Structures are given as C-alpha cells and as structure tokens.
Amino acid sequence: MLINELSKRTSVSIATLRYYENYGMFKGVSDEKVRTNNYKHYDELVVEKIEIIKGAKEVGFTLAEIKDLLENWHSEQLSVEKKIAVVNSKINEVDAKIHQLTEVKKLLARCIEDIENGRC
Amino acid sequence: MLINELSKRTSVSIATLRYYENYGMFKGVSDEKVRTNNYKHYDELVVEKIEIIKGAKEVGFTLAEIKDLLENWHSEQLSVEKKIAVVNSKINEVDAKIHQLTEVKKLLARCIEDIENGRC
DNA sequence: ATAAAGTATAAACCATACTATATGGTTGTT
DNA sequence: AACAACCATATAGTATGGTTTATACTTTAT
C-alpha cells in the first residue's frame, strides 16, 4: 500500500508517518519495476509497527526507545541472547510503569475518599 | 523549606522546580515577617504534589493534565460532585493506560517466544 | 567586611515530536 | 491535453518541557 492508505489504516497523519520513516522507525520500499516514480510501498509489518508505536507512545515511551525496540524486533545482526535481553529489559520497564500507575490510582482513590469526607 | 532543600527532597532540579512553580503546578509562600527578601517556602504538601507530578509524568501524563488534577485536589471553589468527577475521569485514564501497557507486555512476551523459536 | 553560597527573575536556548509550507514530479480521469 | 489527486523532499515553524545564562540581591561563614 502507498502512504495514503497507510495513513488511513493507522489513523496517523501522512506528515507524521513520513517523520517516523525519516526517523528510522520503519522503511517503505520503492517498486524496482517502476522506474517512473519512487513511490514507497508499505506492508502489513509496517502497519503492525505503527500500532506498536502508538501504544508505546501513549504510555510514555519516547520514539528513541521505541525505535530501539523495533530495531531488535526483526534484526538479523543480533544474537538471540541479546535480542531477548533487549526485549526483557523493555518488559521490566513496562512492569515498572504498570506499578507506578497502580500507585497513582491508589492516590486518586484516596483522594476520592478525602473529598467525600470533606478533608479535601 | 527553601527551594534548595525542596530540590534535594524531591530529586528535581531547582530550575525544573521553578519551571513547575511558574507553570502553576504549586506555589511557595514568602514569609511576611521577613521583609528583606522574598525567598519562597515550601511545605510537605508541595513535596507530595511533586511526587505525584513525577509519577504521573513517568507514565505519560502531560504537565497540563497533571496541573488540572492538582488544581482540583485541594480546591475550595468546586463542588464535591465536580471534584469527584474530575478525579474519577483521571482514574479511568489510568485504567486505560494500564490496559494498554498489559497489551504492550503481551506483545513483548510474544516477541520473546518468536525469538526463541527463530521466527524473529 | 568580604567571599561564597543561596535566592529570584527574565530571557535565551535546546531537544523532542510533530505540523505546515513550498516545490516539483506522477498518476488517473475526463 | 488538462486538471485534480497523489507522492517525494526539503525547510521552516510550533508546542511542550525543560536547561542555561545573565543579572542582581541576600544570607552565611570566616
């Protein structure tokens, strides 16, 4: 698919998609058979990557962190051990964030109580 | 306490604390009895607020969102119902983020499997 | 009394993550 | 052929969340 369809599929603006591609989050490929243009084509893997980007961004990961993760995702250069290590460290970060969110939630629940009891 | 101690207590730089105060996240008070300076004093409530800011920021809330929450936290102007509504809506946002994070975690766990099975 | 450390304010500067604009070429429709 | 709709690249501008720098006054230690 071309960038317009990619944008519609992912609900991410074309400008943002180009920004991501330029940043190195994913790559489209130009059809070698067509020499008149260099329109880039994107496959389902790119769609998946963008969904990962969206989810990870939403919960506070930076593009740099997400890029790092995506690069390991389907890389041939890294050893199995290293790949697993990278992904595991991200899992730990996610756990830490979940823990922090439950703390925030507790705080908010306490706040509701305080409000109900006029202490707030 | 003065800003230096506040910084040490919270591990937030003085520059950032001033930025937050200026942004309206909290307010220090100048001692009326001392007319030679207008050094601002911060109490434990400010320390608590900063801890909330840190936690909420870490998990993807913007300063604007956090400010909104903190403003309701100890406000006299709002009705009990409105305060509860604001806090409840934040709790829902936190839940949504927790859900999203567990999805991200699932994805990462699947990724580990893929790596182990050489599919990745 | 004077140097060092602390405080306040304002303004400039910076990185991240976009968003918009300008330019120019391609494709598709009529 | 012409016109809209689409694609690519480059560059500039914007918003957020800070950091740095400059200036100046206050407090504290010696």
CB A55 within 8 A of CB B103: yes
Q: Is B115 on the interface with A (CB under 8 A)?
A: yes
Task: Answer whether A59 sits within 8 Å of B104, measured CB to CB.
Answer: yes
Give the integer Cα–Cα distance in Å for B6 and B13: 9
pTM of structure: 0.87
CB B67 within 8 A of CB B27: no
Q: Would the Cβ of B18 be found within 7 angstroms of any atom in strand C? A: yes
Q: Rounded to 5 degrees, what angle do the CA atoms A44, A50, A54 make? A: 145
Q: What is the pLDDT of residues A37-91, one digit of tens each?
A: 999 999 999 999 999 999 999 989 999 999 998 988 777 778 888 889 888 999 9
Among left, alpha and beta (phi > 0; psi -120 to 50; other), residue A92 is alpha
Q: Which nucleotides of C are covered by protein (CB under 7 A)?
A: 6-9, 16-21, 25-27
Enumerate residues 6+ apart whose C-beta is below 8 A from A86: A68, A69, A72, A78
The chain A residue lying nearest B118, using CA atoms, is A80
Q: What is the pLDDT of residues B46-71, one digit of tens each?
A: 999 999 999 999 989 999 999 988 88
Q: What is the pLDDT of residues A97-110, one digit of tens each?
A: 999 899 889 888 98
Q: What is the pLDDT of residues A4-18, one digit of tens each?
A: 999 999 999 999 999
Question: Which residue type does B90 have?
Answer: K
